Amino acid sequence: MTETAITDAPAIDDEVVLVEVTDGVMVISINRPRARNAVTLQVSQAVAAALDELDERSDVTVGVLTGVGTSFCAGMDLKAYARGERPSIEGRGFGGLTERPPLKPLIAAVEGHALGGGFELALACDLVVASRGATFGLPEVRRGLVAAAGGLLRLPHRVPTSVAMHLVLTGGTLTAEEAHQWGLVNELTEDGESLRHARQLAARIAANGPLAVAASKQVIMQHEQWPVADRFRAQRELLDPVFRSADAQEGARAFTEKRTPQWKGC
């Protein structure tokens, strides 16, 4: 199994995951603050449902994943794991995210701990905004576990292999400053400010054509799986519908008319 964890203390709110949509941005908040937002199967199911809604809603362009309180996510709930619970969903992975991220962009807003599965959730996001007091790490080996929710697969593509190896084999941690230096964090904020800044970043993305944003993400995420000689053909399959869309026409008209485009998502 994978992630590290803390306790199975109940959340202050009965809902283990909170969802809020404003101006084309969906904020998904893990709501187990007294457990440092450690992930249970219930959390994974709720996050997966929220991500399905993110992709299905035409009025939402981008998502933000965060944790209520002072921690992003401390990983898998070890007490639930010891009782035999596994917080992964078939085909979706840990947290309902790590094996199948959404088609639309997802930003992690990180405060405090992003450890074990929490770090793997952040690695599964497209962008990361973190407070200076945040801590990232994969301490699974200290519990006799392994980072099987994407940490071993994604981290070596984001930092030099030697850095990834050191983190994984020692179970050590990175400060937010160090993670930013390695490119794991896109934006640094003061403590308590990560969600606000993530909302601002999300708003900049949501202002763009939703079809273009989603298709652009998919090309970036998929292109390495395509044979080099076939990449432009495979790219066209994703991008041609965007060029044929009403939104593409609206974008061109808005530019010539010097006004803000009114996207329809079609």
Tell me the catalytic residues. 120, 140
Tell me the residue type at 8. Answer: D
Q: Please, are residues 74 and 118 in contact by the beta-carbon 8 Å criterion?
A: yes
Residues recorded for the chain: 266
Residues in a beta bridge with 16: none
Q: Which two tokens stand for residue 5?
A: 């964890």
The residue type found at 75 is: G
Strand partners, 219: none
Contact 110, 40 (CB under 8 A): no
> Which helix H or strand E contains 129, and what residues bound it?
strand 127-131
Phi, psi of 49 (to 5 degrees): -65, -40
Rounded Cα distance, 187 and 238, in Å:
29
Sequence letter at residue 83: R
The helix/strand/coil state of 26 is: strand
Helix (H, G, I), strand (E, B) or coil at 94: strand
* 69 contact partners, CB below 8 Å, separation of at least 6: 33, 34, 36, 37, 111, 112
Cα–Cα distance for residue pair 195/115, rounded to 1 Å: 18
Let me know: does 111 contact 67? Beta carbons within 8 Å. Answer: yes
